[in-house]
Amino acid sequence: MQINGIHHVTAIAGPARRNLDFYSRVLGLRLVKKTVNFDDPTTWHLYFGDAEGNPGTILTFFPWEHVAAGRLGVGETEVTTFRIPAAAVGYWTHRLIANGVAHDAPQKRFGETVLAFRDPDGMRLTLVAVPGSESEPAWDNGEVPVDVAIRGFHGVTLLLDKTETTAAILRDVFGFVEAGREGNTVRMRAEGTAHGSVVDLRAAGGFLPARMGAGSVHHIAFRAGDDAEQARMVKTLVERFSLRPTEQRDRNYFRSVYVREPGGVLFEIATDAPGFAIDEPAEDLGGTLKLPARHEPRRAEIEAVLPALV
């Protein structure tokens, strides 16, 4: 059976230390993995998620100290959304205030209570109150109480010139179905999963194209249970949508294929296996710098140039 939903979201950040403090301390996510950009090993690649680094909870960053700010536009992820328990909105409102994080007043979207704010680089985030999510596991960072902690992704909002073809890809390749419409936004939902089950498609014709930079989402990864399922998805992208995905790339913790969908958003198909415990025990996730085998001989050189995290 196909595994549906978002696997992870990868974004661009400014200073690594500031990024780590915001996501691990302020938002209370676990630092699941400290590694490097495989194509640029002098740059951190930081993974945040739940206690075990499960698919559907992972937000990753490439932090660059002096990167210019991105510009929001069509062909990009506009908002990344986390799930929180239904009774936790008040707690998070006060926590954002206490940490100097500007936020909007809670609003209703698709019948859900939504708290919108931005990270230090301007990345647009929301917390959505989800009844029943309090029973889901959460990471205890020692500061955010577990009963109100983030429970992984709710989903993302894509800003597009037109939504029809993207919706068809989500349906025919990734197993999403249309779940509602509100204004100029179409809600697509993956059945059979809780985390990362929502992709909202917001039509915004006439906007300038997005420009990547700090605060921008680089790509969205969707789940594939194994290599065979990933290959079936690739086949559909090629035969039904005439797209040209990349070859499979080994990212140590999952195997990836990339494709840019017609709306301009970079999609990834990532396998669930082997997972983040492949190179360190689950209880020690994020404890030390982990390098791919090809970069291990350069460890001393890489460690000397990576910006300090603490």
Q: Per the structure block, which two tokens stand in for 67?
A: 């990167």
**pLDDT reading at 1 higher than 70:** no
Tell me, yes or no, whether 180 lies in a domain. Answer: yes
pTM reported for the whole predicted model: 0.97
**pLDDT reading at 125 higher than 90:** yes
The tally of domains found in the chain comes to: 1
Read off the CATH number of the domain in which 127 is found. 3.10.180.10
Predicted confidence (pLDDT) per residue in 139-176, tens digit: 999 999 999 999 999 999 999 999 999 999 999 999 99
Range of the domain at 155: 6-305
Q: Tell me the average pLDDT across 5-20.
A: 98
Q: CA geometry: angle at 266 spanning 130 and 188, to 5°?
A: 35
Tell me, yes or no, whether 310 lies in a domain. Answer: no
Q: pLDDT value at position 205?
A: 83
Tell me, yes or no, whether 298 lies in a domain. Answer: yes
Predicted confidence (pLDDT) per residue in 66-104, tens digit: 999 999 999 999 999 999 999 999 999 999 999 999 999
Predicted confidence (pLDDT) per residue in 18-60, tens digit: 999 999 999 999 999 999 999 999 999 999 999 999 999 999 9
Tell me, yes or no, whether 292 lies in a domain. Answer: yes
**Position of tokens 């595994």?**
3
Q: Tell me the average pLDDT across 179-207.
A: 95
Tell me, yes or no, whether 224 lies in a domain. Answer: yes
